[in-house]
Amino acid sequence: MKIRTLGQSGLDVSAIGLGCMGMSWAYGPSDRDACLKLLRDAVDLGVTFFDTAEVYGPYVNEELVGEALKAVRNQVVIATKFGFAMGQQPGSLTGVNSRPDHIREVVDASLKRLRTDHIDLLYQHRVDPDVPIEDVAGMVGDLIQAGKVRHFGLSEASAATIRKAHAVQPVAAVQSEYSLWTRDPETQILPTLEELGIGFVPYSPLGRGFLTGTLKDAALDPGDYRNTSPRFTGDAKAQNTRAVDALTDLAKAKGVTPAQLALAWLLAQKPWIVPIPGTRHLDRLKENIASANVTLSATDLSEIEAVIAETGFAGARYTEAGMAMLNR
């Protein structure tokens, strides 16, 4: 496995990480024992970067990751997140909460679930408009001084928010959705990160599975949140399917899978970008990891851009409520 460094943080991770959310949340029921095994297999295959959050489940995903990785804790980098407010009903969310006292409580609880004495990378999951980002950064800085956290990260934060936070506590990495069908970060976020020396971690780098070309005719589990995603329904799905079909043809011509083409494209954008595709299946894990060895030429990259320019993708990436939570 190739290694990349997240910006100037000194945090070295595998070029392909593993997003663990789908093992416990959002995509319908899963087999816990199978997911435990997959996490251990990932380590054996060279993955060192694992992404989770308290809200995934909630809580159970951190427990899963903690149990799976406890025997190899010093060999891996674990990222988790704070920032949501939990309701009284199991699994319910009532909004965001990044009050400093809440951050401290969440971190202590996450450490227990992860079975560790430190969190390698702690992200603010969503920006809280009621708490100055400087206060958030200061609290995480205190946790770093206490040894409970090693690096500070932000998720779905605007360029202005990133700058304010970084001035108080250096930001090691920013996480946002970025892929062939989500190009938003290119305008302001990537230039800001390059200027400040901050790493970038694209989540949903395979478009929640759509860019693999395997979901266009698939029946999703009733509990799968993609059933309500604007990009997976109606005319948008039809247009997106045409785009993926064209990209699939390019992948075949190069001798790679559509997933490998999408991940290799991300890796080709900047040397400090580390995507974290998720999966529950060993064959998909191996396929994703192999993308780190795929080299795209300038011609390949131009052909990909031409396909997207001609066909394009349609639909918002979240519902209106989800989009409203993004800091833009």
Has residue 88 got a pLDDT over 90? no
Assess if residue 252 is contained within a domain. no
Strand 77-82 to 152-155 pairing: unpaired
54 neighbors 80 (Cβ within 8 angstroms)? yes
Residue 228: inside a domain: no
* Domain annotation covers residue 101: yes
Domain that holds residue 15: 3-208+269-290
What is the value of pTM for the model shown?
A: 0.96
Q: Which of 31-35, 86-90, 114-118, 242-246 has the lowest mean pLDDT?
A: 86-90
Q: Per-residue pLDDT tens for 175-202?
A: 999 999 999 999 999 999 999 999 999 9
Percentage of residues of the chain with pLDDT beyond 90: 91
Is position 317 within any domain?
no
Cα angle, residue 250 at apex, residues 218 and 266 outer, rounded to 5°: 85
Average pLDDT of the chain is 96
| Three-state SS at 71 | helix
Query: Span 165-179, mean pLDDT?
Result: 98
Average pLDDT over residues 5-9: 97
Q: Output the furthest CA–CA distance in the chain (Å, rounded).
A: 54
Average pLDDT over residues 42-46: 98
Residue 238, class by beta-carbon neighbours within 10 Å (0-12 exposed, 13-18 middle, 19+ buried)?
exposed
Identify whether 69 is part of a domain. yes
The strand ranges marked E within the chain are 3-5, 12-14, 18-19, 49-51, 77-82, 84-86, 93-96, 121-124, 152-155, 171-177, 199-203
- The rounded distance, in Å, linking the Cα atoms of 228 and 224 is 8
At residue 86 the predicted structure's pLDDT band, cuts being 50, 70 and 90, is: confident
Give the CATH number for residue 55: 3.20.20.100
Q: Roughly what angle, to the nearest 10 degrees, separates helices 298-311 and 258-269?
A: 110
Count of structural domains, the chain: 1
Residue 166 falls within a domain, yes or no? yes
pLDDT, position 91: 66
- The mean pLDDT value for 248-277 works out to 98
The SS3 assignment for 125 reads coil
**217 lies in some domain:** no
Q: How large is the average pLDDT for residues 223-230? A: 90
- Which of 37-46, 93-102, 220-229, 298-307 is the least confident region? 220-229
Give whole-number Cα distances, 36 to 39, 113, 219, 280, in Å: 5, 15, 25, 10
| pLDDT-above-70 percentage for the chain | 99
| Angle of helix 100-114 versus helix 60-69 axis, rounded to 10 | 40
The catalytic site residues sit at 56
- Asked if the model's pLDDT at residue 223 lies above 90, the reply is no
R_g of the chain computed on alpha carbons: 19
Return the pLDDT at 90.
Answer: 66
Report the SS3 class of residue 242. helix
Half-sphere exposure of residue 66: CA atoms within 13 angstroms, side-chain side: 19
- Going by pLDDT thresholds of 50, 70 and 90, the confidence category of residue 133 is very high
Tell me the pLDDT band of 219, cut-offs 50, 70 and 90. confident
Residue 247 covered by a domain: no
